[in-house]
Amino acid sequence: MITGDDFLFTLHQFIISTLCLFFVYFAWRDQAAKTFDRLEHVNLKIIGPLLIGIFLGLFMLFLYEWGSLGIIISFAFALLITFSIFDPKYAVSFFIFLLISRPWEIFKDQMMAGMPRDIFILCFLSFVGHKIIRKRFYFQWNMASAFVLFFAIWTFFSIIPSGQIVGAMIDYEEVFIKGIIVYFLIVNVVDKKEFILPVQSALVLGITEKALMSFYNSIFLGKVSDGDRLTSVGIFENSNDIAAIMILVIPFTLAFLKGITNTIIRYLLGFVIFSFYFYLIWQSKSRGAVLGVGALAVAWFWLQAQNKKVASCIVVIGMIASLGVMSLIKRDAEDVEGSTSNRKIYWGAAINMGIRNPLFGVGYNGFPLNLLTYTDGHVGTEGKHKTAHSTWLLALAETGIVGFVFYVGIWVFSFKSAWVMRNDHPEFLLGMLSYGTAITFLSHTYMLYPYILLGLTVASGQFYIKNEEVVPDKGLAGAVLAKGL
């Protein structure tokens, strides 16, 4: 039986049940619109009962393991796994949701603890299996994906000069490589515009769950009223990190409101959602996150404005105003001064590391180990948690100028996709600008979330790139493979 906080357990059951409803809706809509990916030479009279049998078998297994109180989560996991077998886009989406939600950090259960490995294996087998069944032995490729691969390889080789090969290798496999895998899975399962929706829903619901947990853990339990900063549960105890991913998800959450035809209801819901997230971000007292919200607001205004020259002037004013708003954040003066001082030390050290080691930097996970050498003995006040406090500078410090070019290249070519979609799907551009601003002050270089955002953007952007020549029998995937982004 799963044990843990009753509220968090109930919340997770609600969120994962909502994900099930999304998957059912997307499957029904694809069926009605005939946009689903057909399985040729497969008898539907056989596959239907087989999937039902798999679902019932899994449901009984989970129910036996988790008990009657886990009937809802047992049903949800059984259904989501069955969907994952049926179509790899659901497998990838479910895997992403679990990586964000991380229920094994909250509920103490042996089977739940093994879910990351088991669902990854399922996701990989579903992806490869459907490639074989459908005889699609090709992969979607573009310049952004090339830079992702180059950066991953270069980071791997940077482990050698890091001075801690064993520890860095373990961290590379357990942390960084997950984001790389997720990126390529997203890009390669999205063969049609509609296929991006399950992935987006997994991202939105996963981060929404973390936001609600933050509200419960910090606001409802009164921690913020005692002067503490916003925090969540598990890996997201750091207020800056939880604020950053909430910024990432705001535009994608609001994008789901496009289908609401009533303008008043749509804008009212949009205002409520934005206000909720902004309140939590404000309670995180993260200055970088507040700047990210400012970037989101001014970018949205610029996209909506008809007169771009006037809008650009207002954007500049808006960004200056965002800097002013940061002064209103109520944090201990000593804490703010220490944070600012640390960033100056770490940023200077990161630049120094990259310039003096242009090929591989100081190596993956080498920043804390080499900080003393590159700062004349000044290592700040963060103890063992020392980091570059900048996604871009961490890439420069630990992978050198070459790795830095690869990493920036990922964002540049992904930004091209977002820019092409700015009129039809502004959420991608808004997400890149706002989250990119926030992580300028945070070390998210190797975390999962940038690669989900980049994968979503590149996968969606391939359908809006102009003047692509379609390769026969391979559709847009073949076009992208043949010409690049």
Domain ranges of the chain: 1-137, 140-485
Cα(244)–Cα(361) distance, rounded to whole angstroms? 26
Q: Is 482 exposed, middle or buried (0-12, 13-18, 19+ CB in 10 A)?
A: middle
- Please, which residues have CB within 8 angstroms of residue 46's CB and are 6 or more apart in sequence? none
Paired strand residues for 3? 108
Tokens of 210: 């973390």
Dihedral sign, CA of 106, 107, 111, 115? negative
Residue 226: which H helix or E strand, with range?
none
Tokens of 427: 């959420």
For each of the chain's 485 residues, which pLDDT tens digit applies?
455 578 888 899 999 999 999 999 998 888 776 666 666 555 566 777 888 999 999 999 999 888 888 899 999 999 999 999 988 999 999 999 999 999 888 887 788 888 888 999 999 999 888 888 877 777 788 899 999 999 999 999 999 887 788 888 999 988 899 999 999 999 998 888 888 999 999 999 999 999 998 888 887 776 665 557 777 777 777 788 898 999 999 999 999 888 788 888 988 999 999 999 998 888 888 888 888 888 888 888 888 776 767 667 776 776 666 666 655 565 554 555 556 777 888 898 899 999 999 999 999 988 888 888 888 766 666 655 678 889 999 999 999 999 999 999 999 999 999 999 988 899 999 999 999 999 999 899 999 999 999 999 999 998 887 544 444 344 433 443 344 33
Cα–Cα separations (whole angstroms), residue 4 to 75, 109, 443? 19, 9, 30
Among 435, 409, 437, 432, CA closest to 422: 432
For 4, phi then psi, to 5°, come to: 165, -175
Three-state DSSP class for 108?
strand
Assessment of whether the complete model's pTM goes beyond 0.75? yes
Measured N-to-C along each axis, helices 177-189 and 88-101 cross at an angle, to the nearest 10 degrees, of 150
Are 427 and 159 in contact by the 8 Å Cβ rule? The answer is no
Cα–Cα separations (whole angstroms), residue 30 to 83, 148, 192, 289? 14, 31, 11, 37
